Structure 1
Amino acid sequence: MVTDPLFPDCPVRNVLARLCGPNTLWVIHLLNERQAMTQDELEQEMKGTKRSEVSAAITVLKADNIIVSCRNTYRLSALGASIVPYIKGLVRWCEQQVSPDSFQK
């Protein structure tokens, strides 16, 4: 993983700074669901997200070896696939916290 200059000595903050950037978790989620996608397919799925934003997420994920590319098609690397269960757990937690019932408490 590329070291973030803001958090060079903190592994947790360093990883979160990279993975929790705009659109990076979304790209990981989509590639896990679809196995492989082009940038155009990612952009279509990520409606309302600018091409430059999708490109920035792809650049970060490639630099950190979370995704790999072959002939303009992106897929999760083994490292990227290893984080998917944690992302799914985070998504479940978020959905539980933002359910209609949670607003009444």
Structure 2
Amino acid sequence: MSPHYIGTMADAADHDAGQDVRLRARVEGVVQAVGFRYWTVRKAEELSLTGTVRNEDDGTVAVVVEGPQSVVLEFRRWLGSDDAPGRVDHVEESVSPATGEFSSFDVVY
């Protein structure tokens, strides 16, 4: 675990809300072949976040997103909401300081 690891989005609430963070999320449920990646890109762009989304071989979707903590929290809430396409059963997450490696939000194939 990185010494800069923060934990989950709930743990991040104890840190500076304006700090840029990186959320890594593994989304489980019916999230492939339902437009989930497309809508994830749209939501991230709407919130001016950067990162990636991709389908995994095990049927999950992997998301890496960076931006201001409060905005990333809004995105995280959306990931687990009924507004997200398909059916999200569980979101496994970890949060760390942002690296700044992304300049946009893209689907990775």
TM-score normalised by length of structure 2:
0.29
The structure with the largest helix share of the pair is 1
TM-score normalised by length of structure 1:
0.30
| Higher RCO (Cα < 8 Å, 6 or more apart) | 2
Instruction: Tell which structure's C-alpha radius of gyration is larger.
Output: 1
